[in-house]
Structure 1
Amino acid sequence: MKAWILSFFNSQATDPAAQPLLAEQPAEHASTPLPAQAWHLRRPDFDGALLAWMVQGEPDPANSLGPREQVVLQALEARAADTAASLLPRAAGVVPALLARLRSDSSSLGELVDHVSRDQTLVAEVMAMANSAFYRRERPVMELGHSIQMLGVGGLRAAIARVVLKPMLDGRSGPLIRRAAPRLWKHTEVKTQLGAEIARSQGRDPFDAYLLALLHDMAWSVVLRELDGAAGWRLSVPFVAALGQWRDRLASLIAQQWRPPGPWVEATAELAQHGLGAGSGPEVLNLCTADQLAWLLCDPNRARARTLAEPLLASALAPVRACFEELDAASAAPR
């Protein structure tokens, strides 16, 4: 596994085309699309490293798709073709209305506070979020009122979204999902926070970026369910590339089913159809950057991860670097 992953990481660290996506921009151009780079040329290897870590398996260097891998890909195609079925059925009756309410300008802080205070799970989530690395406070926050004041409407929206949507990433069926779900959620947690911080630093809506990153990782849970239902597949390079493309396509289909307000549908459709390329919009570029930085926070080889993160962070806006550093410190702290 190490050699397979290093073949990607070593080329990434030395490739002059692999420059940061988070170059600082003047305030008056905060919404200008970021320059496209060549990261997409190595995304199959990147997704392979993430997948191998999630399923706790070894990649196979074979440059072929065997019959067992074809079975998985055919199952994903069949699932995508079944437009009558919800890709995430547990959320079919809840999520669209929830997202519309959370993004509504009429959802006041008082209404959200009332919603949170009546649910102990939400209270616990709000307290945990207020004390997370994302908010970077020197002293722990002990009171709900203080937590709510600190988080504001955006933070409360994110806390509610996490509580409602996290169960869709929990593994309660096959052994592979049970192994992978905690690691997928770890990646999702840091990816959503980084995505929100990147957007905030550019003057964009951090909640939109937060939800986009959350939805993008939810699509992995659909892929994992199909892997769990098959036996004998290998994480070969072409198989990983195909699974990464299906993750993007499934994210787009989930967004189409939910039809939430905001840039979700357009951004996921762009990624599914064109990948990360020269014409990518800022939402897609930011999502892929958050995805990459999130993996570097999850990579067990911390020394290697820090080396590879530095080119991205060197010209990042200061809040993005600070967020990454705090998340890195939090992940390394004993629990």
Structure 2
Amino acid sequence: MKKWIGRLLGGDKETEVATGAGTAVAMDEEALAAEVDAAYYRYLTASSGRNIARELEEQVLAEVRALAGDPQGASVLVPRVPELVGQLLGALSDENISTAALSAEVGRDLVLVAEVIREANSAYYRPAKPIETLEGAVTMLGLNGLRMLLAKIAMRPLIRTKTQGVARQLAPTVWKHSERCAFAASVMAPGLSAGVFESYLAGLMQNVGLQVAFQVADRICEGKVPGSGTFGVELFAASRLLSSVIAAHWDFPVEVVDAIARMGDPDASHLAQALAQGDRIAKLRLLLDAEVIEEDDSFVTTGLNGFQRRCLGKLADLGD
């Protein structure tokens, strides 16, 4: 997996550091993020969360944080990216590659061909008439759309873990969030002068550590996970740090690694801010879809601005 993301992006690019907002605003944002995280965690673990002694919660958090200090050990707990996808992403680093050349590269794998055509016909792209050819699908997606699709295909096995227990049970919902977070972050990126693809990639990657964290919790808590929302906020923070460490070990771009590690920090990069906004919008989308909250919930009406609410609505069109 090493180097394929670097080849795709053609080298690292410096990102601006946003100036911090006022302290009161930052505190409000932090409190809102924690409330959304707690609500989402309770929803995510509703079927497997239990009241667990604080000593065991601390043990889970300590082990997840310790794994962040062992990138080699942490990275082997998740699957590797398929070699063909890595090769294709490397080919896409050429901004001048033709549609015909792209189609030829994708056409080497029939499963990938089907994925590309299905994506081009999805509710997001809404073609005027069904697209039936690979070249037509590649034209519809464009270079950046194809990059995002291939990144999603590459990252999917990292979240859809083959382990048993709680991590496996929660994997489908974690992946839904990853997809929606990636999309929302990429939509937020232009308004924050952040890279669109880098934001998408960070959204896909940020939950990899969470799947490892659920494996740890499952083992320590004997087939269960703590159900406390407060614990969930702590676990999300610890697992994002773990995700960033794994991303660095796999040679992801420095700005993507930093954005995952510092998501929610008001003084972090524009990319980190795009990721934080995308993460919140994606969590609210899942809570709405599960009817945990309503459209007029304050998380939506006052927690999101008009543009973010439109993105929230657009997420309803994403297929699983």
Calculate the TM-score normalised by the size of structure 1. Answer: 0.74
- 1:186-265 maps to which residues of 2 (within 5 A)? 186-202=176-192, 204-231=194-221, 233-261=225-253, 263-265=255-257
How far apart, CA to CA, are the structure 1 residues paired with 2:254 and 2:124? 23
1:315 matched to 2:306? The reply is yes
How far apart, CA to CA, are the structure 1 residues paired with 2:173 and 2:317? 18
Deviation at 1:86, TM superposition (A): 4.5
How far apart, CA to CA, are the structure 2 residues paired with 1:93 and 1:150? 25
Matched AA of 1:104: S
The residue number in structure 2 matching 1:45 is 35
- Specify whether residues 141 and 105 from structure 1 end up closer, same or farther in structure 2 by C-alpha distance, changes over 3 A only: same
The residue number in structure 2 matching 1:90 is 79
Q: Say which of 28, 32, 56 aligns to 1:68.
A: 56
How far apart, CA to CA, are the structure 1 residues paired with 2:32 and 2:227? 16
Deviation at 1:239, TM superposition (A): 2.0
Gaps of 5+ in 2: 1-15
Deviates more, 1:47-56 or 1:244-253: 47-56
CA RMSD of aligned residues (A): 3.3
The residue number in structure 2 matching 1:57 is 47
How far apart, CA to CA, are the structure 1 residues paired with 2:73 and 2:90? 24
Deviation at 1:164, TM superposition (A): 1.8
Q: Percent identity at matched positions?
A: 25
- Specify whether residues 258 and 128 from structure 1 end up closer, same or farther in structure 2 by C-alpha distance, changes over 3 A only: same
- Specify whether residues 311 and 34 from structure 1 end up closer, same or farther in structure 2 by C-alpha distance, changes over 3 A only: farther
Deviation at 1:105, TM superposition (A): 3.7
The residue number in structure 1 matching 2:3 is none
- 1:154-165 maps to which residues of 2 (within 5 A)? 154-165=144-155
- Specify whether residues 48 and 143 from structure 1 end up closer, same or farther in structure 2 by C-alpha distance, changes over 3 A only: same
Deviation at 1:109, TM superposition (A): 4.2
1:80 matched to 2:68? The reply is yes
Aligned pair count reads: 293
Q: Say which of 117, 135, 139 aligns to 1:127.
A: 117
Gaps of 5+ in 1: 1-30
How far apart, CA to CA, are the structure 1 residues paired with 2:44 and 2:110? 30
- Specify whether residues 259 and 177 from structure 1 end up closer, same or farther in structure 2 by C-alpha distance, changes over 3 A only: same
Matched AA of 1:52: R
Structure 1 residues 294-328: Cα deviation after superposition (integer angstroms, max 9, x where no partner): 11111112762454324455432xxx655432322
- Specify whether residues 103 and 223 from structure 1 end up closer, same or farther in structure 2 by C-alpha distance, changes over 3 A only: farther
Deviation at 1:180, TM superposition (A): 0.7
Matched AA of 1:119: D
